[in-house]
Structures are given as C-alpha cells and as structure tokens.
Amino acid sequence: MNRTQAALVSRGMDTVRAQQLAEGGWTLSKLKASTKADLTALGLDEASISQILTGSRPAIPLQTLMQVLFANRFTCCVCRKSERGIILHHIIPWETSRDHSAANLAVLCLEHHEKAHVRSTLSRNLDADALRSFKTAWEEMCRESDLSAILYASRVDYDAWLYFNHLRLFELAKQLRLGFKKIDGFSAARRLRLIDAAGNILPRNSHLSYMYDGAEGQTLYHYVRSVLEEVLERIRVINFSDLLDRSNVHTLLAAGDFLLVQGAHTFKGLTDRRKGQGEAMKGSRRANNVELRYTFDRWEATSMSAWSTWLAGRQSVASLLQVKDIQREDGDAVIAGTVIAISNGHHKLQHRNYSPRYGRYMFYNNDEDEGLDDWGDATSSR
C-alpha cells in the first residue's frame, strides 16, 4: 500500500478503488484539483467525491489505520477472505460517534460493508454487537497465528534456539507467575543440579567455552527451551519479519512490544574476550531505513556451532526481543531492544503474504504530498 492508497483508504475509500486510482497515476492532490464531473467519470460515488472535494469527514489517523489493518491482516473480519477488497467501517457511524478510534473500526469486504448498512428480516444483521463480535474473534485469531508460527518453527527443529538471555527470560517467567516445577525438563535439570529448587539456573563453570558446554548441556537446553515456550504462550509477539519499513515502525510499534525479526543479521564483538563469560556482542539487522540493535553475551550460546558460527559475522537468523525505544537517526528508524532469544531462521516466519491480491503492506515515499510527512505519519494526528 503506497501513500496515495493509504490517504484514500483513510478517507473512506475501498482498497480496490484506491489501488486502481494509484495505478492510474492519481494522487490525492490531483483528485482534489479535479472537478466533480471528472471524479464522476472515474466512477467515484457521491460519498467519495464529497469526501475528496470538501473533506466532509476527517481522515482516519494513519497510525490508527495501519494498526487496524495489520491487526486484521488486511482481511474482512466477517468472511475472512483475503482476496477481497476491503474498507474500514465505523461500527458506530461517524455521524453519530465522531469516533475514529481502533475500537470503532471494523475491516469489511465490500459485500459485508453493504450488508452492514441494511437491515434484514431473513438473515443475521451486521449490527454493532455483531460487528464487534466478528472483529474480536478475527483479531484474536490473527494474534494467535504469529505465536503458532513461532512455536511451530521452534518445535519442528528441536535445536532451533541458538541463544537465550537467561536473566531476562526468567524475569519474564516470574512476572508471568510460571510454575517452574510443572515445566517440562524441570526434574531432569534438578537431578543434575543445573537448577535450584525454585527452578532458577545455578551458576555454570566460568571456564566453559560456552554456557551449554559439557554433558549436561542438552538437559539444560531442554529445560530453558520449555521455559521460553511457556513464556511465549502468555505474551503477544509481533512477527515483524516482513514489516521492516520505517513508516511501519512508527505506526505499529511501541516500547514494551515483543517482536520476532528474521533475516540477515550482523554480529560484532564489543570486547577482546573470545571465550567464557562476558563475551559482549552487538547484534543488528538493517533493512528499508530501519536498524534493529541489541547487545548480548555470546557465552550464553546453546551449542558450539551457535557460539562459533551462527552468532558471528553475517547470518540469517531470527531474533526475539522486547522493544526498549525507537529513535530517529540520520533519517533511519532505530529500534533498540533487549534480546530474549535468537534462533535459526524458518520459512514460516518470513515472506508471509497476508493478502494475495495486494502483497506486502508497507508505505513507500513518493513525490506527492498526501497529508503524510516523510515518516508516513498523518500530520493531522499530531
């Protein structure tokens, strides 16, 4: 979705017509400079023409627009058919509510948008209660799909995880009040004295090349991996692998969010230490004017290959992290995060196509002013 499409959809147009106009070289600026006859000749209805020429209703703020579209995978919450064009529908009409909030916006295909505006005695009406029910159920299913993909990728390849940030992972587990004694692998790890009675990892020998070195490494890995999976079941993780674009960062993310980002990462040492605890490393991924940054101790690698190969140089991996802050730096969006775990890449975590008709949904700059600044933010929302 380019800036023209976003500007038109935020003003009440459906995605099919918005795409047709954009592909025909039309921008919001050009449409505003046209006559009513010109717009009628383009096939626009009275409501769209009025909205373009008079601005009879404020545009939906871009951040809200993208949050709702992303939460619904750009798909109608009623029929869930991703190949259909969509429109953002106000559950309580704008004329009554004056409410552009995400809670009052439902993603509908054109067929169900029409049904939402009529009342029937023969079938279920798409009234406010029905729309809220469809919206809630579909958005929850979309949230769970990211988690399912991550857990599936982990379980298909047992040795997928290359690194765990044990301090942060166990902090999260305690915040979520996990019962460690019920976690798979607890008893075996306890018998080998790898953990204490409360489930905390006991200090490892500092002379080991990496934390999971030695005969007990696999037992410890099994337990920590189980802790991570229990944590993942209880938090919302956004698979941002295919959304790394500057405008998406500022419209979809906030400090505290949990992300999974797969792709080419670069790992560089921050100290001269090459073995043992305290081998500080910087991990980063850069794409589309976005840079992801975090630091970690490579000593916490889960295997010799992870320590010597996968966490060094340039590698295609997936990082699970929590966002600390988002800054602008030389025109880029820089996401600083706390890494929780790093895994091998998996095809289900990247190159996902949420809508076959429209492909990837991210904003690209063009030369026209569509009411968006160079970050893709709606200037009216500031």
329 and 268, same structural domain?
A: yes
Helix, strand or coil, per DSSP, at residue 259 = strand
318 and 237, same structural domain?
A: yes
One-letter amino acid at 34 equals: S
C-alpha angle 214-217-223 in degrees, rounded to nearest 5:
160
253 and 214, same structural domain?
A: yes
- What is the predicted pLDDT for the residue at 120? 62
- What is the domain range of residue 24? 3-125+358-381
Neighbours of 31 (CB within 10 A): 22
Q: Does some domain include residue 147? A: no
Dump pLDDT digits (tens) for 23-79: 999 999 999 999 999 999 998 888 888 888 887 789 999 889 988 998 898 899 999
313 and 273, same structural domain?
A: yes
Dump pLDDT digits (tens) for 250-268: 778 889 999 999 889 999 9
Residue 42: closest CA among 59, 26, 28: 26
CA distance 41 to 109: 24
Give the DSSP per-residue string, 102-170: GGGEEEEEHHHHHHHTS--SSS----HHHHHHHHHHHHHHHHHHHHHHHHHHHHHSTT-EEEE-HHHHH
Residue 328, strand partner residues: 333
369 and 295, same structural domain?
A: no
DSSP-derived secondary structure letter, 126: -
Q: Does some domain include residue 353? A: no
CA distance 122 to 194: 65
Q: Does some domain include residue 151? A: no
366 and 330, same structural domain?
A: no
Number of domains in the chain: 2
- What is the predicted pLDDT for the residue at 382? 26
114 and 170, same structural domain?
A: no
Residue 336: closest CA among 300, 289, 285: 285
368 and 260, same structural domain?
A: no
181 and 119, same structural domain?
A: no
CA distance 92 to 34: 31
The two tokens of residue 279 are: 């081998």
120 and 192, same structural domain?
A: no
Residue 300: closest CA among 284, 322, 283: 283
Neighbours of 158 (CB within 10 A): 11
CATH (domain of 226): 2.40.50.110
Q: Does some domain include residue 141? A: no
The two tokens of residue 194 are: 């790898």
Q: Does some domain include residue 145? A: no
Whether the CB-CB separation of 94 and 119 falls below 8 Å is answered with no
Q: Does some domain include residue 144? A: no
The whole-model pTM stands at 0.72
Task: Give 3-state DSSP helix, strand, coil % of the chain, rounded to 5.
Answer: 40, 20, 40
Q: Does some domain include residue 153? A: no
363 and 341, same structural domain?
A: no
311 and 165, same structural domain?
A: yes
Q: Does some domain include residue 310? A: yes
Tens of pLDDT, residue by residue, the chain (382 residues)? 778 888 999 998 999 999 999 999 999 999 999 999 999 999 888 888 888 888 778 999 988 998 899 889 889 999 999 889 999 999 999 989 999 999 999 999 999 999 998 876 445 678 999 999 999 999 988 877 766 667 766 666 667 899 999 999 999 999 999 999 999 999 999 999 999 999 999 999 878 889 999 999 999 999 999 999 999 888 888 888 877 878 778 778 889 999 999 889 999 999 887 777 899 999 999 988 899 999 999 999 999 999 999 999 999 999 999 999 999 998 899 999 999 999 987 655 554 433 333 333 444 333 333 443 333 333 333 2
First-to-final CA distance of the chain: 22
- What is the predicted pLDDT for the residue at 355? 35
Cβ-based neighbours of 130, under 8 Å, separated by 6 or more: 124
